[in-house]
Structures are given as structure tokens and as C-alpha cells.
Amino acid sequence: DSGVTQTPKHLITATGQRVTLRCSPRSGDLSVYWYQQSLDQGLQFLIQYYNGEERAKGNILERFSAQQFPDLHSELNLSSLELGDSALYFCASSVGGGGGPGEQYFGPGTRLTVT
Amino acid sequence: DAKTTQPNSMESNEEEPVHLPCNHSTISGTDYIHWYRQLPSQGPEYVIHGLTSNVNNRMASLAIAEDRKSSTLILHRATLRDAAVYYCILRDGRRNQGGKLIFGQGTELSVKP
């Protein structure tokens, strides 16, 4: 158990819909990262928040957005869903926001299926 | 982002050592070498990291070449639970780069009893 929690575990929805994925970081960690894992693209970094502010951005689609709240939990919002958005979405957390080594701890993931 | 090259797959026998190679010829001075693994149906798990010197922890050892252009993850005694995809990642240590991890395809390690 990494200490990172993600809800829900599974999500099935239809094309065009909007969903919200939730992540709670390990106690004391200030950074939250979101990653997408699909069969054809592998594991891809989407976005990082550090202490409530966006710190780094990857190949995140404009239809996707995220935020980190004062209690440090984070939400990833996916809208206008397409079949290709079906994937595993992982959240990770770390103590720092960059600089130095900074190991990350991953949650169990949310499996999103778009039908 | 600097890239790494790993074999697609490797096989090992249980209770034998495993050496997982990684090439990173374009590594920069600020890059840390990280290894993560992903067991079936789980999220990635941190294994070990290093900068210039060899490193040991309870899970594994990391041997880094003197020119830092390659490294090897060493599992001293493979168990069936070590069957996973192992990712070698260069993580930019500069503060303004954030902490993102850029995953490649990794090496799928299978362990035979």
C-alpha cells in the first residue's frame, strides 16, 4: 500500500460525457501527478500540481483539466469523452515539487471505459 | 527529455540474480537515474535511484557506469513476485522542471520457478 488513494476504482461511461477522478496523496506529500496508461501509448505524464499550483504539464488534452485543493487532494476532470480516452489513470504523489531525485508513490489507478 | 533504451523482455530463474540493463547515452548532468517497476494490475512502484555512484537498498542495487551513459538494475535473488515491467527513467533534477517521469516501454521480466 503506497498511501495514495484513488476513487473510483472503475468507471464506465458513454462518449460525450464528463467524469471526475479523485486522488488523495500520501500524508505530507505536496505534489500530485496524473498519468494515463493505454495499450497503444504506454504510461504518459499528464500534469503535476505542487501545493495547489500547476507545476508541470505534459501531453494533456484541452478536454482534460485538473486542480489541487487546499487539503492537497486532486481531481482530474475529463470532458467530451471519446472512445480513445479509455485507459488506466494513475495518480502519484511526492514530497517535493521538483529539484533533486524525488521518488513518486503511485495509487492503484482508476480504470475508465468509454462506450 | 533524455531517452533510455531497454530490452523489451528478459527471463530469469527463481533465486538467481538478474541484471537489467539500460542505455542513456544522452544523459545530462542534472538527470537522476530512476527505476520503477509495475507489477500486473498495479500502479508503478519506486525501486531505486542514483546520480553518479552505485546505490543499494532493500529491493535492489543500481550500478552506474563511470560515464553515466548506462546503468544496470540488479535484483540479487529473483522471486516470482519480481515478475513485472521494469522502467529505467531519467528524471531532470532541476527545480524548474517539476518532477515528471517520462516512461519508455520498459523491460518485461519473467521469472521461472
Nearest CA in chain B to A107: B43
Q: Among residues B43, B45, B27, B26, which one has the least CA distance to residue B35? A: B45
Residue A69's pLDDT is what?
Answer: 97
Nearest CA in chain B to A110: B43
- In sequence order, what are the residues at sequence separation of 6 or more whose Cβ sits closer than 8 angstroms to the Cβ of residue A39? none
How far apart are the CA of B57 and the nearest CA of chain A, in angstroms?
A: 14
Output A11 or A59, whichever has higher pLDDT. Answer: A11
**Contact across the interface for B101 and A97, Cβ inside 8 Å:** no
Nearest CA in chain A to B91: A101
* Residue B81, Ramachandran bin (φ over 0: left; ψ between -120 and 50: alpha; else beta): alpha
How far apart are the CA of B86 and the nearest CA of chain A, in angstroms?
A: 12
Whether pLDDT at A99 is above 80:
no
Residue B2's pLDDT is what?
Answer: 62
Mean pLDDT of chain A: 94
The DSSP bridge partners found for residue A78 are A19, A64
What is the Cα gyration radius of chain A? 13
Whether pLDDT at A101 is above 80:
no
Q: Which residues of B touch A23 (CB under 8 A)?
A: none
Residue B1's pLDDT is what?
Answer: 62
C-alpha cell at A75: 481531481
Whether pLDDT at A100 is above 90:
no
Residue A34's pLDDT is what?
Answer: 98
C-beta neighbour count of B96 within 10 angstroms: 9
Residue ranges of chain B whose pLDDT lies below 70:
1-2
Residue percentage of chain A with pLDDT more than 90: 86
Residue A41's pLDDT is what?
Answer: 84
Kindly list the residues of chain A whose beta carbon comes within 8 Å of any beta carbon in chain B: 2, 4, 31, 33, 35, 42-45, 48, 50, 55-56, 58, 90, 92, 94, 96-109
Which tens digits make up the pLDDT trace of A13-50?
999 999 999 999 999 999 999 999 998 888 999 999 99
Strands B84-92 and A53-57: unpaired
Q: Which residues of A touch B108 (CB under 8 A)?
A: none
**Contact across the interface for B99 and A104, Cβ inside 8 Å:** yes
Residue B50's pLDDT is what?
Answer: 94
Residue percentage of chain A with pLDDT more than 70: 98
Contact B104, B86 (CB under 8 A): no
